[in-house]
A and B are shown apart, each in its own frame.
Chain A
Amino acid sequence: MSPEQTKATSPRPALSPKRREQNRREFIRTSILGIGVLGATLAGLLPLAGQANARLRPPGAIKDRLQEQEFLAACIKCGQCVQVCPVEAIRLADLTDGVGVGTPFIQARDQACDFSCDGLQCVLACPTGALTHDINYPSQARMGLARLARPESCLAVRGQGFRGQARGADFSGLLRYEAVNRWLPIPVADHPYDLELCDLCLRQCPIEIRLAQCAAGTPPSGDANQCPPRSAIRLGAQAGGGALPLVLDGCVGCGVCEMICPVDPAAIVIDIDRVADAAQVG
């Protein structure tokens, strides 16, 4: 081979041993960095194991019972739902949720979604459809399902009334009381009750309130479509006095009953792995 040919086939000069050693070290360093980045990325999936962090999500969140994969995939973690909620029910998850970091959730006992926006503002604000635009009215939401978890502590079951602030003076949760101000939710602490028989879960249920409004001929926002098709909760008669709260198939899982329940821990709670009619989530 002539020198010209050698030059044509290998235009680069051979690397010096020193340079080759540098390249080898750089390759190893970069590989270690790669393993680090890969490890950190996959660590984000760890909290999903056993769905330890499955959360109560805002209305319209696309999920199938505990399987939240679609919701976590679609959520862009911007918090626009947080910003529009009139009762600030929505919070964003932290790093402990792994790939769920920055996703919205509701801690119902602290602040439930009471649908005081009427128009599902969080759904409208969602830019990616993680909160699906397929639902238009509160009664269509299926966030979870209420369950009387501790009937023995339920005041209604025990036949007891309730007097005073539902969650004490220090509770900061908000609710909309139509009789007080339709547009401005107020602290639950500012609205004491005096009840012969405790029926707070029923009394404050956003679905039951809407049903009552519709029955009175004054549907929310003057829109008959806002009228829920089915009841969410009622008090059943009990032998030997008192009443038993019964969760019905109109329950949307908003968590107001869990928030307002005056006993601690709450007698009624929201299960996030059940919804009233499974057909709607499948």
Chain B
Amino acid sequence: MNYVIESLRQLMGLDPSKPGPEDRRPEVVTLMAEKRRDKLTREMLHAVEAGRAQAADRHKWRNRRWATLITVNLLFVVSYYLDVQLLEGAMTASRFVGFHLADLNSALQVMLAYQHLVLNLVIGTVTVFILWLLLGGRTFCSWACPYHLLAEWAEKLHLWLAKRKWARDIKFHRGGRTIFYLFFIILTLVSGYTLFETLSPTGILSRALIYGPGLALIWVLALLAFEVFVSRRAWCRYVCPIGVTYGLVGVLSPVRVQYRVQDCHHEGDCRAICLVPHVLDVTIRGRARAVTTDIGADCTRCGLCVDICPTNSLSFKVKGLDKVL
């Protein structure tokens, strides 16, 4: 229950809750006391980080994710070009070997604007809901959304420029995304037009890949330029309602990144690399309530933190799977 409430808080844009002294489990208090006693020296910390930076599997999850994202998007392209009925349509709605799939946010807009339900859309929406429920919700963002990959590369460029003070990193209030979400729902309902679809870089890019480029790519480039020069990962962090929709699905999903406080050095490498760093606030010294904590549903399960963590304190887990096996 705490996981659900905390996840929803973070999705809405509130700061992660800080534990009071009485909120911490006794074993965590003991653990933290031990950590204080056996302090790490700066050299030891650097040595561990350097070791991680050279490890053969330091990009394990990133590579798997990029391969998945590229494969999914290429499947659409290949299906159309070779005219095989494998994955027809685009990211907004498609058919996988004839079976309907509909992106949850696109389907939501159509339902709000059109206010009729066609059986095919219901089938597609329910199927995709179950799929991402099983896979982690915002997993969609980092493992399937074509904009995410471009934004990830733009983010690298942004960090490189920002380090040299050639780009700014303006931060906005994450609560804005919740207001945009409600605003898109109300405006779609009132106007009867699928307003967000016009702005959605996910839909625009997916269609551009499959059906060929158009002027709409200028909007995508403008978003990327904004993220490179003005504000890091601004679209995904502060605006995109698709992330909220899948985030809400993720609240109920068993696939999570789990944090173990035991070996954590609290040096913050994970928060520095994360798309949504607030979800990792629990890794700040003194924030952990229990020995293990599941990272909230705003997490896109991209695995960058799992890859970079020098102490294996972050790992993927499927809740309940160990009990079943």
Q: Report the minimal beta-carbon distance from B313 to chain A, rounded to whole angstroms.
A: 30
Q: Report the minimal beta-carbon distance from A96 to chain B, rounded to whole angstroms.
A: 6
Q: Report the minimal beta-carbon distance from A177 to chain B, rounded to whole angstroms.
A: 21
Cβ < 8 Å to A, chain B residues 206-249: 207, 210-211, 214-216, 218-219, 234, 238-239
CB of A159 within 8 Å of the partner chain: no
Given A29-B170, A44-B199, CB of A128 within 8 Å of CB of B89: no
Binds B, one of A72-80, A190-198, A227-235, A257-265: A72-80
- In contact, B204 and A79 (Cβ under 8 angstroms): no
Residue of B nearest to A95 (CB): B216
B residues in contact with A102, CB < 8 Å: 90, 92, 197, 203-204, 207, 216
B residues in contact with A127, CB < 8 Å: 89, 93, 95, 100, 102, 118, 120-121, 124
- In contact, B211 and A76 (Cβ under 8 angstroms): no
- In contact, A77 and B197 (Cβ under 8 angstroms): yes
Cβ < 8 Å to A, chain B residues 99-117: 100, 102-103, 106-107, 110, 113-116
CB of B198 within 8 Å of the partner chain: yes
Q: How far is the CA of A207 from the CA of B81 in the complex (A)?
A: 31
Count B-side interface residues using an 8 Å CB cutoff: 56
Q: Which of B103, B116, B204 contacts A74 (CB 8 A)?
A: B116
B residues in contact with A126, CB < 8 Å: 120
Q: How far is the CA of A74 from the CA of B121 in the complex (A)?
A: 10
CB of B193 within 8 Å of the partner chain: yes
Q: Report the minimal beta-carbon distance from A4 to chain B, rounded to whole angstroms.
A: 16
Q: How far is the CA of A76 from the CA of B183 in the complex (A)?
A: 19
Q: Report the minimal beta-carbon distance from A75 to chain B, rounded to whole angstroms.
A: 8
Q: Which of B102, B115, B199, B215 contacts A76 (CB 8 A)?
A: B102
- In contact, A79 and B198 (Cβ under 8 angstroms): no
- In contact, A101 and B180 (Cβ under 8 angstroms): no
Cβ < 8 Å to B, chain A residues 115-133: 125-130, 133
Q: Report the minimal beta-carbon distance from A86 to chain B, rounded to whole angstroms.
A: 10
Given A94-B216, A101-B197, CB of A37 within 8 Å of CB of B180: yes
Q: Which of A40, A45, A76, A125 contacts B193 (CB 8 A)?
A: A45
- In contact, B198 and A76 (Cβ under 8 angstroms): no
Q: Report the minimal beta-carbon distance from A21 to chain B, rounded to whole angstroms.
A: 14
Interface string of A16-48 (1 = CB under 8 A from B): 000000000011011001100110110011000
- In contact, B120 and A128 (Cβ under 8 angstroms): yes
Q: Report the minimal beta-carbon distance from A138 to chain B, rounded to whole angstroms.
A: 21
A residues in contact with B107, CB < 8 Å: 76
CB of B80 within 8 Å of the partner chain: yes
- In contact, A128 and B114 (Cβ under 8 angstroms): yes
Q: How far is the CA of A75 from the CA of B192 in the complex (A)?
A: 12
B residues in contact with A101, CB < 8 Å: 197-198, 204, 216
Given A78-B89, A127-B93, A128-B93, CB of A92 within 8 Å of CB of B198: no
| A-B contacts, 6 listed (Cβ < 8 Å) | A34-B179, A40-B199, A74-B114, A77-B106, A78-B89, A94-B214
List 16 other contacts, CB 8 Å, given A44-B195, A45-B191, A129-B116. Answer: A26-B172, A26-B173, A29-B171, A30-B176, A33-B238, A37-B239, A41-B198, A44-B193, A74-B116, A76-B110, A76-B194, A92-B211, A127-B93, A127-B120, A128-B118, A133-B118
B residues bordering A, Cβ < 8 Å? 79-80, 88-90, 92-95, 100, 102-103, 106-107, 110, 113-116, 118, 120-121, 124, 170-173, 175-176, 179-180, 183-184, 187, 191-199, 203-204, 207, 210-211, 214-216, 218-219, 234, 238-239
